[in-house]
């Protein structure tokens, strides 16, 4: 790709790298793509300066202040200082996760989902951090020259919530699956077959309803349930009640924040991956499971049919009976049919690589850099 020399200012706005797994992957992939496309022209402004070769790293002012309460107070000056640098030295500003920096140069943001806005039952506006995040996101959308949406579903949600925002600002840039997940699992599962759940278990992730469905299905006699969470989460009282009611204690295992390699093995060895979520901006675990050669069962809501296509077995997220039926269909599926669906899943996942994503990202930026 022949690109005119342009200077790019990246504002590292990620505050929780572990919890924001998909956001962090976008940040790394797109930063590396920009460094390759614009050698010597990329600056990164960050409170946690990354060790990334090929970019000029500019520590924000708050990195020089140790007391946390003081760092919060100088956040405004952090943004003003960063904006001054961006306006005086760069042609375009990119943030992987919103922020409060106002620049004169065009601003580009990646938009992931509208979960807070769509689910006030789970995320009430009375909670100040949620209200601030929504206000920050809205302000970013309004001043953005370009909003990169990780799915058509996310783009449609933005336009539904903010109809005054021009659709011409929005471009679809699907995120990708790491190459590791396409590799063959190094060994086969010799233990009891298991259904796998990956992710946070709270709120819209719909785990409690899925746990109830697994218990009521009676499949625990033949299958275990394994759970992998990004952070250490003890089972809630509601979950424990279900585990006791259906005698699942010896049929459920949980893990915390495993490596990508271990996660790939968990996917690859699973009888099926189950994704009962009520809402996703994209649904990366769905594709990781498909790439790993796993049968996928998923809710039929938000972005999941867009990303999964006709590969997963879909169920209604609000219906325990629908989940039970789908679990039983999967458990009774002839092996030839199961393998055919798994193969289609791998083929589908190949459409969503980080190389493809990075290329789409650069093409989108070119529309305002030319």
23-60, pLDDT tens digit by residue?
889 999 999 999 999 999 999 999 877 777 899 999 88
d(CA 195, CA 179): 23
pLDDT of 51: 74
pLDDT of 67: 52
What is the pLDDT confidence band of residue 308, given thresholds at 50, 70 and 90?
very high
Q: Are the C-beta atoms of 311 and 349 separated by less than 8 Å?
A: no
Contacts of 93 (CB under 8 A, 6+ apart): 9, 11, 86, 101, 103, 105, 106, 107, 108
Strands 272-275 and 146-149: unpaired
Q: Is the pLDDT of residue 216 over 50?
A: yes
What is the pLDDT confidence band of residue 3, given thresholds at 50, 70 and 90?
very low
63-122, pLDDT tens digit by residue?
655 555 555 667 788 899 999 999 999 999 999 999 999 999 999 999 999 999 999 999
Q: Is the pLDDT of residue 1 over 80?
A: no
pLDDT of 348: 98
d(CA 347, CA 329): 23
Q: Mean pLDDT, the chain, as a whole number?
A: 92
Q: Is the pLDDT of residue 215 over 50?
A: yes
Domains of the chain in sequence order: 8-176+353-369 (3.40.50.2000), 179-349 (3.40.50.2000)
Q: Are the C-beta atoms of 182 and 351 separated by less than 8 Å?
A: no
d(CA 263, CA 331): 22
Q: What is the mean pLDDT of residues 325-331?
A: 98
219-271, pLDDT tens digit by residue?
999 999 999 988 888 899 999 999 999 999 999 999 887 889 999 999 999 99
pLDDT of 19: 67
φ and ψ at residue 197, rounded to 5 degrees: -120, 130
d(CA 14, CA 23): 8
pLDDT of 40: 94
Contacts of 101 (CB under 8 A, 6+ apart): 11, 79, 82, 83, 86, 93, 95
* Choice between 6 and 242, residue whose per-residue pLDDT is larger: 242
pLDDT of 256: 87
293: how many CB neighbours lie within 10 A of its CB?
22
φ and ψ at residue 20, rounded to 5 degrees: -100, 60
């Amino acid at each position: 790709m022949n690109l005119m020399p342009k200077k790019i200012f990246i504002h590292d706005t990620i505050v929780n790298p572990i919890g924001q797994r998909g956001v962090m992957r976008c940040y790394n992939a797109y930063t590396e793509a920009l460094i390759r496309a614009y050698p010597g022209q990329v600056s990164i402004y960050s409170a946690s300066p990354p060790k990334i070769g090929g970019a000029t790293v500019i520590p924000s002012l708050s990195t020089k202040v140790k007391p946390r309460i003081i760092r919060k107070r100088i956040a405004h000056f952090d943004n003003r200082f960063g904006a001054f640098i961006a306006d005086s030295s760069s042609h375009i500003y990119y943030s992987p996760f919103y922020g409060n920096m106002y620049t004169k140069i065009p601003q580009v943001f990646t938009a992931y989902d509208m979960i807070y806005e769509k689910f006030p039952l789970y995320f009430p506006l009375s909670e100040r951090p949620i209200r601030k995040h929504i206000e920050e996101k809205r302000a970013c959308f309004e001043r953005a020259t370009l909003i990169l949406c990780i799915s058509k579903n996310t783009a449609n949600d933005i336009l539904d919530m903010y109809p005054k925002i021009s659709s011409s600002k929005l471009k679809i840039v699907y995120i990708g699956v790491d190459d590791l997940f396409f590799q063959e699992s190094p060994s086969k599962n010799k233990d009891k077959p298991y259904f796998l759940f990956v992710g946070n278990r709270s709120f819209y992730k719909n785990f409690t309803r899925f746990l109830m469905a697994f218990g009521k299905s009676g499949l625990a006699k033949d299958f275990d349930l394994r759970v992998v969470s990004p952070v250490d989460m003890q089972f809630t009282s509601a979950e424990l009640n279900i585990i006791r009611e259906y005698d699942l204690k010896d049929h459920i295992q949980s893990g915390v924040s495993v490596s990508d390699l271990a996660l790939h093995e968990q996917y690859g060895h699973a009888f099926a991956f189950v994704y009962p979520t009520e809402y996703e901006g994209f649904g990366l675990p769905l594709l990781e499971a498909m790439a790993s050669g796993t049968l996928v069962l998923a809710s039929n809501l938000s972005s999941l049919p867009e990303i999964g296509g006709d590969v997963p077995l879909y169920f209604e997220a609000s219906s325990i009976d629908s989940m039970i039926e789908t679990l039983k269909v999967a458990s009774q599926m002839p092996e030839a049919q199961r393998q055919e669906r798994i193969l289609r899943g791998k083929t589908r996942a190949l459409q969503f690589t980080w190389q493809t994503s990075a290329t789409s990202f650069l093409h989108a930026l070119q529309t305002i850099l030319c």
